[in-house]
Chain A
Amino acid sequence: MNRMDNALTLLGLASVAPSYGYDLKHTYDRYFGINKPLAFGQVYATLGRMIRDGFLVELGTESGGGPDRRRYQTTEAGHARIRDWMMTPDVPSGALQSNLFAKVVVALLTDADAGRLIDLQRARHMQQMRELTKAKQQADLMHVLLYDHALFHIEADLRWMDMTSARLDAMKADLK
């Protein structure tokens, strides 16, 4: 759930402007593929699924061209899916940053409200912190330590969100 969603991230990148699959793969790798670039096969399989689901359409297929000669344009349903993905906070977990990072980058590239998506995630984290804090107040000391461990991890996420929020303008300038 909280792992970075490659398919939606790719759709998000495609929603910036109509793009070739080749360019989408390279844009993806530049932002997110440092450790694990996407395989071309995975890119085209994903784009095919997105067409099937009505999130993308092909534009101006050149005759005789392979899949890399096709441009992909995001449909209204595709834009709606991306907005829904970005503005739906994830359940806090250790793997959160990768998905949240992808959402923030896509939001900045598409001029969506990156600050608000961070605030929505912050509120989701705070909900979990409240639940853990309440449980901790009833717990014995050994379990208090376990709750502390969980709380400090959530707090680390929140601090990362604070820093990211403070750097949004600089990130946006960097991405343009």
Chain B
Amino acid sequence: MTPILEARRLHKHFGLTHALRGLDAVIDPGEIVAIMGPSGSGKSTLLHCLAGIIPPDEGEVLLSGEDIGRLSEAERSRLRLTRFGFVFQFGQLLPELTAIDNVSMPLLLAGQSRKHALREAEDWLDRLDIGDKADKRPATLSGGEAQRVAIARAMTIHPEVLFADEPTGSLDSLSAEVTMNLIRNEVKAAGTTLILVTHDPRAAAYADREIIIRDGRASVDSRVAA
């Protein structure tokens, strides 16, 4: 089976900081992988490199065997729009838009009709049990509700890979649990690969396995250990 994502000897510097130091990682299609490690270990840098948001200084990121470093910036941007989904710690919803408009936005950007985009968005909001919040703006939603909208927004394009960077970081324990249950159930149902960066071991426990990063390298990779 060709891995959906593969990092080969990634190096990344930020000024004098050597954030990634020859990191290797392999992620299979449909896996949920938690990337863990202390602050400054390089886990968010790894996520950004895997998602094509920043290029590594050395090494390769392969998406289904294709080196995304060979793509133009426009092609990488298209990749992020059509094949990747993103969920961040604070949802990062557009504050002036309603929940349903936030969720339909990626489909509109991908060229879908407004009618189709709204119908899909409505389905996703219902599916995540926040259909009654469709016309609410983010400021009026609880943290857990806002995160569900963010999940709906990320999943509405049926991404091959969902990248989640500390998705429970701003939530209380119970909301975090509900959120992780939802993410796990939805990505498993859709066959989407999930890359989860988290400090929170209880969130990471929803993953199939973890990669522990230390000093810019994979200190423990349970795929290798297994």
Contact = CB atoms under 8 A, between A and B. Distances in A.
A119 B217 CA distance: 12
In the complex, which of the residues A115, A119, A133, A137 has the most CB atoms of chain B within 10 Å of its own CB atom?
A: A133
B220 A154 contact: no
Contact of A158 (B201, B206, B214): B201
Q: Determine the main DSSP class of A at the interface with B.
A: helix
A151 interface: yes
Q: Decide if the interface of chain B is mainly helix, strand, loop or mixed.
A: mixed
B181 interface: yes
Given A125-B201, A137-B181, A165-B38, A120 B220 contact: yes
Classify chain A: how many residues form its interface, as a range.
20 to 34
B212 interface: yes
A129 interface: yes
Contact of A122 (B36, B205, B206, B207): B36
Given A115-B214, A162-B38, A122 B220 contact: yes
A108 to B, nearest CB: 16
B interface, size bucket: 10 to 19
B219 A133 contact: no
Interface in A116-139: 116, 119-120, 122-123, 125-127, 129-130, 132-133, 137
B204 A126 contact: yes
Contacts of B212: 119, 122-123
A130 B38 contact: no
Interface in B179-226: 181, 201-202, 204-208, 210, 212, 214-215, 219-220, 222, 225
A155 B207 CA distance: 15
B219 A115 contact: yes
B220 A133 contact: no
Contacts of B204: 126, 129
A62 to B, nearest CB: 46
B219 A132 contact: no
Contact of B202 (A115, A129, A162): A129
6 contacts: A116-B220, A126-B204, A129-B201, A129-B202, A133-B205, A162-B38
Interface of A: 115-116, 119-120, 122-123, 125-127, 129-130, 132-133, 137, 151, 154-155, 158, 162, 165-166
